[in-house]
Amino acid sequence: MTPTPKGDSADAAKTAGVTGTYRASPRPTFDVPTLISRESATRHVWGDPEAGEVADWIYVSSGLIHALVFQLEPHGFFRHSPDHRTVFAADELLYVLEGVMAIANPETGEVCRVETGESVFFRRDTWHHAFAHGEGPLRVLELFAPPPSTGSSGAYAQTRPYLQETRYADDDLLGRLAVIRPEPKTLHRLGRDDIVWRRDLGVLVGLCASTEQLTAGLLELDAGQAAAAHCHGGDEIVYVTEGELTVRAWQAGEVSVFELGPEQACYLPVGCRHEYRNFAGTAARAVFGVAPSYLG
């Protein structure tokens, strides 16, 4: 079978009355296991002069999961505007691929500094702004579920009360921030020590976050390792960050084999049996997202 990308012609944002400069993002979907490179990802520019403009590489936007890489130029940012409201009905994991991200909840004043190889997780109804910190560009992998095809993004954002006041500091902590640090309210920064590791596939799988909507984490295969064949109760996207990863998938009597390098991803539909292998001489690492259920 040949993978066929399909754009979602039903523009949920328009039916919800979104006007002005807002334009719903493209929704590339596939019927079969598919390799997606940075070059073949669907390009999109999000935002306006007030909210900031962001370059997107959309890898997949199926009926279950949305995955893209966004990039900000040095000192670039995105905030929100009346037409582009950054508050959605979805769980999101943002994994920093390059640079340093300062991310804020402008409603609560929370701010997190997230370095390359770290991530931040937040749940629905969380306002968020992001800034490229330092002197270089910022590239971030975004995993998002439920996806825009369900009306969880621009259409939903227009139903939320507009956030008039923006703050980037929590003054409630002044005068009482001692040794014990407060628990995060909405933004959960995840470093290496915050990952929950498992070997359910015979290789290292690290969970960054797992909810009823989205499971996201890391996959590590040493040279010569192979993960056991398995399937999930949701669509999966696997994005390689380091090394070379071979994905073999079985669906409807067809076998597909894909060789993935950095910045390449593989989409695997719900219920598709698949395995990962590392035939190279160095370790392979990837970020994955499954929505809604990790278990088969």
Q: What is the CATH number of the domain that holds 230?
A: 2.60.120.10
Length of the chain measured in residues? 296
> Does residue 172 or residue 160 have the better pLDDT?
160
CA distance 140 to 134: 15
Residues 144 and 231 in one domain: no
Structure tokens at 168: 């980037």
CA distance 84 to 201: 41
Percent of the chain's residues with pLDDT above 70 = 93
Residues 123 and 244 in one domain: no
Residue-range definition of the domain harbouring residue 133 = 39-190
Q: How confident is the model at residue 20 (pLDDT cuts 50, 70, 90)?
A: low
- Residue 115 phi/psi, 5-degree rounding, is -95, 170
Last residue of a domain, one of 173, 190, 207: 190
Can you give the pTM of this predicted structure? 0.93
- In this predicted structure, the answer to whether residue 94 has a pLDDT above a threshold of 90 is yes
203 to 24, 35, 280, 296: CA distances (angstroms):
39, 22, 15, 18
Whether residue 228 lies inside any domain: the answer is: yes
Residues 126 and 108 in one domain: yes
Distance from first CA to last CA of the chain, Å, rounded?
23
Q: What letter does residue 126 receive in the DSSP assignment?
A: -
Last residue of a domain, one of 155, 190, 225: 190
- In this predicted structure, the answer to whether residue 10 has a pLDDT above a threshold of 50 is no
Neighbouring C-beta atoms of residue 271, cutoff 10 Å: 12
The beta-strand segments (E) located in 146-214 are 188-190, 196-198, 204-210
- In this predicted structure, the answer to whether residue 217 has a pLDDT above a threshold of 90 is yes
Q: How confident is the model at residue 240 (pLDDT cuts 50, 70, 90)?
A: very high
Whether residue 13 lies inside any domain: the answer is: no
Residues 240 and 288 in one domain: yes
Structure tokens at 213: 């909507």
Percent of the chain's residues with pLDDT above 90 = 86
